[in-house]
Each structure stands twice: as C-alpha cells, then as structure tokens.
Chains A and B, each alone.
Chain A
Amino acid sequence: MNNDLLLIFNCLVVFFSQWAIFYAFEKLTEKQIISNNTTVPIIIIIASLAEVLLANYLIPFYHGLISVIYFLIILKITSKKPFKEIIIYIILLYLIGILLDILAMVIFILILSIIPQINQYMLLVKPIGTLFLAIGLILTIKISFIKKSINKIVLYLKKLNYTYIYLFLIISIYFALGVLSIDNIESKNNILIIFTLATLLTLTIVSFILSRYEIITLKETNYYLIKNNEYYLKSLQDYHILKHNLTNQLIGVKSIANIKAQALLDDLITSYNATFKSSGDVHKVPSGINGIIYEKLYNFNQKEIEIAVDNKINNHILKVLKPRSYNLLCEALGTILDNALEAASKSDEKIIYLKFNETEDCIIVDIINTFVGYLNVDKFGSFSYTTKNKGHGLGIYSLLDKKKLNVQMSIKNNLFISTITIEKIKKDK
C-alpha cells in the first residue's frame, strides 16, 4: 500500500480514537465538551498528527503516559472537573481500552489462523486495531449498565485519598505494561520505566504521609471547634438570660405606660421572643453537633419550625467516634437537616424531631420532619433528583454511597424519617 495513503489513514484513525475518548468522557460525565467547544476538534487534529509523527520515536510506555497527561490537561480545561475525578475516568477508559485490545488480539489471531495470506496487510493491523478499539469504546459507553457501573466506581474511588489513586495508577500501569508492551520493553528502556514507576511510588508514600498529617490536623481542628462551640453555647446562654431579663423589664415598663407606648412595647417584646420555638432544646444535642444545628437554623432563618430533641448519648461525641466518622456524621446531618428544614417549613405543622441514640457499636441519629407536596418515591435519592427549590439532587445521592455511614429513609404518612447509623470506636475487649 502507498505510504502516504497509509499515513493519512493512520492520522484519521488516531483522530477518531482521540475523539472517541472525548466522546466517552462526555457521555459518562454528561458534560458538553466537544459539542460546546470549537477548539477541541482543532486540538484533537494537532494532537493526532503529533501522535502519528512521534509514534516511532517514543517507547510505547512513554507514548501511553504522554497521551494520559494530554487527556488529563485537555479534559481538566474543558470539563472543569476535579483532577482526581478526571484521573479516575481516564484510567477506567484506558482499562476498557486494554480489555478491548485483548479482544481485538484474539479476533486477529483467529483471522490469521483462518486466512494466512492476510500477512501481506500487516501494516494495516495497528490502525485497524485502533479503529476497532475506538468503535468498541463508543459502543461500550452507550450500554447504560456499563455507564452506570463506571460512574459508581468513580463515585467510590473519588472518596479515596490520593494514596490509593496512585496505587491504583501503578497497578493499572503494570497491567497495561503486561498486556500491551511486554514485548517492547527492551533492556535499555527498563531503567526509564522503573524510574517512572519509582517516582509514582514516591508520590504514593508522600501522599500517605500527608493523609496521616491531615488526620492529625483534623483532630486538632475538631478540638478547637468544640472549644468554640462551648464558648458559643455559653454566649447563647448569656444571651437568653439577658433577653429574659430585658423582656421582664419591658413588661414592667409596659404596666405603667400609656396606650401608644404599650403598643410599642408589645412590638418590642414580641420581636425579642420571636425565635425558634424550641431553640432552647437544641442544647440537648451532643456537644459538637449542636453547632451544626444552630448554624443551619440560623442560616435558614425560619422562625416557625418546632424542633424537639431527644438525646440518649451521654459521652462526648469525639470519645465515641473517630474524627473521620465525626466529620461524616456532621456532613450527613447537615445535608439531611437542609432538606428537613426546607420540607418542614412548607408544611402546615412545621416539625423537626431529632433523636440521638447509641448502641454498643453504633451511633444512631433519627431526623424526622413533616413535609407536603409531591414526591417521586422511585427517583428519590437517585442522581440529580431534588425536592428543593434550588437543589441539585446531589446531597442525599452522595450520602447513600458513603462507606462507613448508613443512611436509611422512610416515609410514614406525612413524616419523612431519615436514620443515620455510624460505627463507634471499637473498644478493646
């Protein structure tokens, strides 16, 4: 076959395979990357030309690594998604590519055994294989089960810290090397590859140390948070006493005032007492968590919600929960409270009931709220379903997949019941 024609064919195939990766990413993340960005096709054309021209000068391992970095940068700029998430998507797409490559090899070997004269077209094997991979990738991503599974894996993996991501990356690279490039690793290149893997391993160790450091910092931050919270509660108590005394004094003045002054004083007394019906009850919530509730109530600024608290946890919350579990609990409680406040505020009877309980192994928090309106029971808790006016539908969805945290939801008539269960620190027996 004419060399020029082969080069053009190669370019077209590489362009198509790159476009396939962008297309797959676009389908998975539901972000418009190619369609909304005119520069992306131009970048793909230039990158495809560069890839074809440089293919002969690079070791396959580095060829793969450069393309990963290229995709990482372009996808970061165009999708504006976090690096970690993009890395995971790219690794998963490459893994699918590797599986398709194995399939292509098997098919090729079968064809070769049936039609031996195909040997004369060996130059076409690589581009046709790439074409097969690209088409395979597009078709695979179109299968909704695979799409959902990949998104679930991404959701799970992005919760891990970078240490695990690097480990995952190294394993993937080893896998890729094993499957694709084992024949291409010549002795002179081994050192370079080992050096790259060693760099990644170093990054893994550094990341591991940093994550340990993060936990220590978290513990320290929690300590100060509790101190601040205690100070806040004391201030709140002082404020309540002051308000109480002030109200009584105003009532005293009102008893000797004329009609106009009485009306004015009535307004003042009402305004001093217009607060949450039960904010006084929130102090029963375990210290540390009550701050979240106060903040949520303050931000929501809805004065008619009745909040009752039933607390059966006697220990300090950080004595029974690890800092990470405590943060998870705060996150879950915050998200559910946001929903509960919004839902209860629309009800005729605006009620939120918080129940804190502990068993030998777990802390259990029930958040019960009234609600009215419309609820799609099957879609509730699924991606992007929201009951809120300005919601994204991500809060509950993200909670349902959390490791070490169990969130269960049920409805009893017009009561919405969310139960958070979180593991306590294990006691040595």
Chain B
Amino acid sequence: MIKFVIIEDDKKIQEIIKKLLRKISIENDIEMQISFYSAYNDKLANCIKENLYRKVYIIDIELEGSLSGIDIAQKLRENDWDSEIIFITSHDKMFETVYRNVLDVFDFIEKFHNLKTRLEKDITTIIKQKFDKKMLKISTRNIDLEIYLKNILYITRDKDDRKVIIHTNEVDFKVTNSLKEIGEKLDNRFVKSHRSCIVNKEHVVEYNYSQNYFQLDNGMKIDLLSKKYRKEIENNE
C-alpha cells in the first residue's frame, strides 16, 4: 500500500494527477490511497506525522496561503526522510539543484510541460526502487553521520591504523568502528569480499577471482576479492 499525498490548489491539475495515479495503480497492480490538500492545514499536519504507510508527496511549489510547497517539504523533512517528494511547478528552475539535494527531492516537474509523462515515469521508478531509503547511522562526539545504504560502494579496513573507511562516489568517511560493527548495521545487499572489505553487490559489475579484484559500476577496480568468500558472494547473488 502506497499513500499519495497531493498538495495542489489547482483543481484541474488535481484531476489530471488523480486519473494518472489510477492508471498506474491498475497497470502495476498496486494498492493506493490518495488524499488531496490545497494548502497547509491541521489535517495535512496530521497526515505528515502519521507513518503507517510509505508515502509519495506531489507538491505544487506555488501554493496560495502562508506556506509554500518548499515550506511544507521542509516541515515534513523535519521527521520524515523515508517518503518521496515530487515538486510540480510553473516556476523557472531556480535552485532546483539546491532543493533536490537539501530536501532529497525525487524530481521537479514543470506543470505545463510533459506533466503526465514525467509524473508517470517518476512514480513507476519510485515503485520499482521500493522506497530504498535505508541508512547507515554512526554518531561520534562531534558529528552524526547518515549515509544511504544504496550510496555506499564498499567498506574497507585501513591497514595502518585499523580504522574503517566507508567509500561512496563523492566522499570517503573514516570511522573508528570495527568492520564487524559496521557489517551488523548493513543489509543483505552487502557481502564480505575479503577479510578487510565489505562490498555493496548492487554496485559491482564484475568479480574477477583469478586476479582478485571486483569492478564497480563507476569503473573502479578494487583489489580486495578473496576466493575464500566466493561461495558466500555467489550464494547471495
């Protein structure tokens, strides 16, 4: 069951979205609950707090009333980072990159340009990805670290100081937890490839046991593949 929360003050657009969602529901055989709001009110506030279902918010940025679509998204992100947000706007694309990153927005769609096609494509992708928002959370004295599991490429133990390095496409994070402790916080997409390496299988394109490396989807070759773990890797595939 997926709950769609549509925050849009234009009745015509509301109707377009409603028809489209019904179509997607039938085609993908997915149970949906749809609720409409035209502005921020107590009911919407309660809906944001409620966390029984996975939610997809489709929000118009330019709303009548005191709170804009961006404000509402900020409010919901105060507690909820699991739901997906799609913004629809007639606005130019100013700061799209900023909010896409800061509020973890799935997409920005222009109201008067390919709305149906883009929205259908986005919702289908969200359904396929199954709301993959699992996170690895580590807290230290000065900083709290949260990384989406899907963003982690592999995790290694540093030879020199025995600390663990979590590798993502953008940043490498060095932490003092042991590889075992980190491993316990991960799900079954991760597998041990070497005594000092855990790899995210979803990012691996090739395992080369003869030359002891695995290749990632970004082209990197990592020389931390041991035959000892072959069975474990293949059983998990």
- Give me the interface of A with B, judged by CB distance under 8 Å: 278, 306, 308, 310, 347-349, 351, 353, 355, 368, 370-382, 396, 400, 409-415
Contacts and interface: CB of A to CB of B under 8 A. Distances in A.
Contacts of B143: 377, 380-381, 409-411
A392 B74 CA distance: 35
B170 A372 contact: yes
A374 B171 CA distance: 5
Interface stretch (B5-13, B29-37, B94-102): B94-102
Given A351-B101, A409-B142, A377 B95 contact: no
Nearest to B99: A308
Contacts of B170: 347-348, 370-372, 413-414
A328 B98 CA distance: 27
Contacts of A375: 171-174
A354 B89 CA distance: 22
B98 A410 contact: no
Interface string B82-105: 000000000000110111011000
B174 A414 contact: no
Contacts, number: 91
Interface string B157-176: 00000010000101111111
A349 B163 CA distance: 29
Contacts of A413: 146-148, 151, 168, 170
A282 to B, nearest CB: 13
B28 interface: no
B188 interface: no
B150 to A, nearest CB: 10
Nearest to A370: B101
Q: Of A308, A347, A377, A412, which is in contact with the most chain B CB atoms at under 10 Å from its CB?
A: A377
A323 B143 CA distance: 29
Contact of B142 (A353, A373, A381, A414): A381
Closest 3 CB pairs of A and B: A381-B142, A414-B170, A410-B144
Nearest to A410: B144
A409 B146 CA distance: 12
B47 interface: no
Interface string B63-80: 000000010001000000
B214 to A, nearest CB: 22
B16 interface: no
Nearest to A412: B146
A308 B94 CA distance: 9
Contacts of B163: 378
Interface in B157-209: 163, 168, 170-176
A381 B145 CA distance: 14
Given A310-B70, A373-B171, A374-B174, A351 B144 contact: no
Nearest to B170: A414
Nearest to A397: B142
A351 B98 contact: yes
Nearest to B150: A413
A308 B105 CA distance: 15
Given A380-B142, A412-B146, 6 more contacts: A349-B101, A351-B102, A372-B171, A374-B172, A378-B141, A414-B171
A111 B99 CA distance: 74
Contacts of A378: 140-141, 163, 174-176
B138 interface: yes
Interface string B125-143: 0000000000000101111
Contacts of A371: 170-171
A308 B143 CA distance: 24
Nearest to B167: A374
A377 B98 contact: no
A347 B169 CA distance: 11
22 contacts: A278-B94, A306-B97, A308-B99, A353-B98, A370-B101, A371-B171, A373-B171, A375-B171, A377-B138, A377-B145, A378-B140, A379-B174, A382-B142, A396-B142, A400-B142, A409-B142, A410-B143, A410-B145, A411-B143, A411-B144, A412-B146, A414-B101
